[in-house]
Amino acid sequence: MKVKHYQTFSEAWTQELFDVAGFGEESSPRGMRTLEKRWSQFKVKDPLTFPVAAEGRSFRDVIGVLEGLSLVGQVSIPETFTSRVKHFGDFVDDGVFHGAYSARMHGMIGEVVHLLSRDPDSRQAIISVYDSARDLNRAYRDIPCTIALHFMLRERKLDVKVMMRSNDMWLGTPYDFTQFAILQATVAQALGCEVGEYIHAADSLHIYERDLARASEIGDSQPSSVDFPLWSPPSNISDMSMTARQLLLAPDKFVATTSFERWAKDLLTR
């Protein structure tokens, strides 16, 4: 399978959106018509080009920030989402997000850092998200779309491959890019290395029929970039996780020092 290469997340999103909307095959899971491209994979050379920006589309960047901070903080607090974006309430079961990535990654991010610190050439730095024992044929509102993440350190650059079972190009993919780029940059900072490539593999890259008209109005991608490092020193994963939780839970009291922290705080306090 030929793998496409993009320089930025914005370029990747707009081009993949056009491909899915223009050449996708029909599929109707749960009776809802979609166009989908199966077994898709592409690379983004510079993962610090978040958030996604494109002509004709207004993004709620706070969603990607909430998800990214939750991942780094390794905590799932539905109220931090539902108080800002009411739509997230549709995915709560008995007061929790059943499929919250952050809860499923709890403790695993530190293990990735420790493993790659000890064995930089390891091929075992994998965090699984989807769990068949918990998720297969279950009736929860929130079933993880992400299968796993594979972190690989080569030539002092940290690559990450994100493997997805399902990806909604219109509603989900732009924020997936942001949250996983935040996590990738955080792990790189903890390892004291550069951010490498971001690889995205989706078994079903799709768009719902209801969003096709709006997708047809999308214009060119727009440049975005975030300065590295994301977090103020010291740069160990424990301190960065604590910082992410503080920013997530009390943004109005948080003292931001990096450009990323200032950007995130501004979004969370609007």
Asked if 205 and 40 touch (Cβ cutoff 8 Å), the reply is yes
197 DSSP assignment: E
pLDDT > 80? residue 1: no
User: Cis omega (within 30 of 0) on the bond before 174?
Assistant: no
**pLDDT band of 3, cuts 50, 70, 90:** confident
d(CA 115, CA 209): 44
Question: Residue 153 belongs to a domain with what CATH number?
Answer: 3.30.572.10
Q: What is the pLDDT of residues 241-259, one digit of tens each?
A: 999 999 999 999 999 999 9
Backbone φ, ψ for residue 235 (5° rounding): -105, 50
pLDDT (mean) for 183-197: 97
Write down the pLDDT at residue 2. Answer: 78
Q: What range does the domain containing 182 cover?
A: 4-268
Q: What is the pLDDT of residues 39-85, one digit of tens each?
A: 999 999 999 999 999 999 999 999 999 999 999 999 999 999 999 98
Torsion of CA 17, 78, 134, 178, to 10 degrees: 30
Evaluate the CA torsion angle 210, 212, 215, 217 in order and state its sign. Answer: negative
How many CB atoms are closer than 10 A to CB 36? 21
Contacts of 61 (CB under 8 A, 6+ apart): 51, 178, 267
**pLDDT band of 235, cuts 50, 70, 90:** confident
Long-range residue pairs from 84-89, CB within 8 A, at least 24 positions apart, any chain: 84/268, 85/60
Distance of CA 98 to the CA centre of its chain: 17
Give the three-class secondary structure for 51.
Answer: coil
Mean pLDDT of the chain: 96
pTM of the shown model: 0.96
Write down the pLDDT at residue 183. Answer: 98
pLDDT > 90? residue 16: yes
pLDDT (mean) for 218-240: 92
Partners of 168 in the β-ladder: 206
Asked if 230 and 260 touch (Cβ cutoff 8 Å), the reply is yes
Q: What is the pLDDT of residues 109-149, one digit of tens each?
A: 999 999 999 999 999 999 999 999 999 999 999 999 999 99
> Domain total for the chain?
1
